[in-house]
């Protein structure tokens, strides 16, 4: 703050400063009082959507109050949205269960974390338009029995599994006569089960399958279309950006930016995230 010898001038400056801060309203200042901040919350532990790394390679963003950097599809999306809005981006790393409470108490402005748009969540937060549609696919070995399958029906009798506590595991039941194995805790464990021959098919979402196939060239993703595809509800596959309920102004700005990001750009962003994500190293 500029200092003068006259008390009246000091009072005037203080009043103007407070007034300007009140008008600015949303978000904290980050060195530039004229630029608002978009505080984005995510786990930084859900590659290829978001993860933490030790440097700023590939355009990673510093995590607030941490010595790490955030990267992934969600970070790339957040950067585009913040830039389009003219905001400075801040990434806040927090546990999954704390994301919605954080946005509702004002600790963060948005949740951008691979969060699906469910009716239950819509009771406590408002969601943007869909920013990613994570369709359900199958993952098999390139030289395996089901490598040429063209539909879910063609997986008839497959020994299959997926991740614990996910809709992916439930969708195995759509495979005719599936030999459904116990669910596995994590994606690396699922991949080991497939590559070792313990199972013949994994059911999972497309980004996860793409990442696994990128890291393991012997695997093949089966992205069935039309009537031959896995049948999942919109709640299972559509992801949105959550804001505090009633924050219509911010939601409008976000949706305006999403409308400017083409499907081709979104695909390229996911491909970039998959190439850079930790599983591919």
pLDDT tops 80 at residue 4: no
Stretch 67-96: mean pLDDT: 97
Stretch 137-146: mean pLDDT: 98
C-alpha to C-alpha distance for 192 and 185, rounded to whole angstroms? 12
C-alpha to C-alpha distance for 30 and 254, rounded to whole angstroms? 20
Percent of the chain with pLDDT over 90: 77
List, for residues 249-273, the tens digit of each pLDDT value: 999 999 999 999 999 999 999 999 9
Burial of 103 (0-12, 13-18, 19+ CB in 10 A): buried
What per-residue confidence (pLDDT) applies to 187?
84
Stretch 51-58: mean pLDDT: 95
3-state secondary structure of 48: coil
C-alpha to C-alpha distance for 263 and 31, rounded to whole angstroms? 34
**pTM score:** 0.76
The yes-or-no answer to whether 36-132+240-280 and 136-231 have a common fold is yes
Q: Tell me, what DSSP letter sits at residue 2?
A: -
Q: Which two tokens stand for residue 209?
A: 């399958």
pLDDT tops 60 at residue 79: yes
Residue with the larger pLDDT of the pair 275 and 177: 177
Q: Which CATH number fits domain 36-132+240-280: 3.40.30.110, 3.40.190.10, 3.90.1150.10, 3.10.129.10?
A: 3.40.190.10
C-alpha to C-alpha distance for 253 and 281, rounded to whole angstroms? 36
Would you list the domain boundaries of the chain? 1-33, 36-132+240-280, 136-231
Q: Which two tokens stand for residue 206?
A: 């497309």
pLDDT tops 90 at residue 244: yes
List, for residues 169-216, the tens digit of each pLDDT value: 999 999 999 999 999 988 889 999 999 999 999 999 999 899 899 989
List, for residues 8-44, the tens digit of each pLDDT value: 443 344 334 444 443 344 454 444 457 899 999 999 9
51: nearest Cα among 73, 78, 79, 80: 73
Work out whether the CA dihedral 276, 135, 45, 50 comes out positive or negative: positive
Strand partners, 179: 159
C-alpha to C-alpha distance for 206 and 224, rounded to whole angstroms? 11
What per-residue confidence (pLDDT) applies to 279?
65
What per-residue confidence (pLDDT) applies to 8?
41
Percent of the chain with pLDDT over 70: 87
Q: Which two tokens stand for residue 148?
A: 């040429």
160: nearest Cα among 227, 83, 146: 146
**Summary mean pLDDT of the chain:** 89
pLDDT tops 50 at residue 117: yes
- CATH for 136-231 is 3.40.190.10
What per-residue confidence (pLDDT) applies to 281?
54
């Amino acid at each position: 703050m500029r200092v003068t010898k006259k008390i009246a001038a000091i009072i005037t400056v203080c009043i103007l400063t407070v007034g300007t801060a009140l008008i600015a309203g949303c978000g904290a200042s980050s060195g530039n009082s004229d630029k608002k901040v978009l505080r984005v919350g995510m786990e930084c532990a859900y590659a290829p959507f978001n993860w933490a790394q030790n440097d700023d390679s590939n355009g990673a963003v510093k995590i607030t109050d941490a010595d790490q950097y955030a990267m992934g599809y969600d970070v790339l999306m957040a950067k585009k949205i913040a830039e389009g809005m003219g905001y400075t981006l801040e990434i806040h790393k927090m546990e999954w269960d704390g994301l919605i409470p954080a946005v509702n108490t004002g600790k963060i402005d948005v949740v951008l974390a691979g969060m699906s748009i469910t009716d239950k969540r819509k009771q406590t937060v408002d969601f943007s338009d869909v920013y990613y549609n994570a369709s359900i696919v199958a993952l098999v070995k390139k030289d395996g029995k089901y490598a040429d399958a063209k539909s879910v029906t063609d997986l008839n009798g497959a020994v299959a599994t997926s991740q614990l506590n996910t809709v992916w595991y439930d969708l195995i039941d759509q495979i005719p006569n599936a030999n459904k194995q116990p669910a596995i805790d994590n994606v690396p464990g699922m991949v080991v089960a497939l590559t070792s021959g313990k199972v013949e098919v994994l059911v999972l979402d497309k980004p996860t399958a793409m990442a696994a196939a990128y890291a393991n060239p012997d695997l093949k993703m089966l992205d069935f279309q039309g009537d031959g595809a896995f049948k999942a509800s919109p709640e299972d596959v559509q992801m949105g950006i959550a804001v505090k309920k009633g924050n219509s102004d911010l939601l409008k700005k976000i949706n305006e930016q999403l409308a400017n990001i083409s499907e081709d750009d979104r695909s390229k962003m996911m491909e970039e995230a998959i190439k850079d994500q930790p599983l591919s190293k």
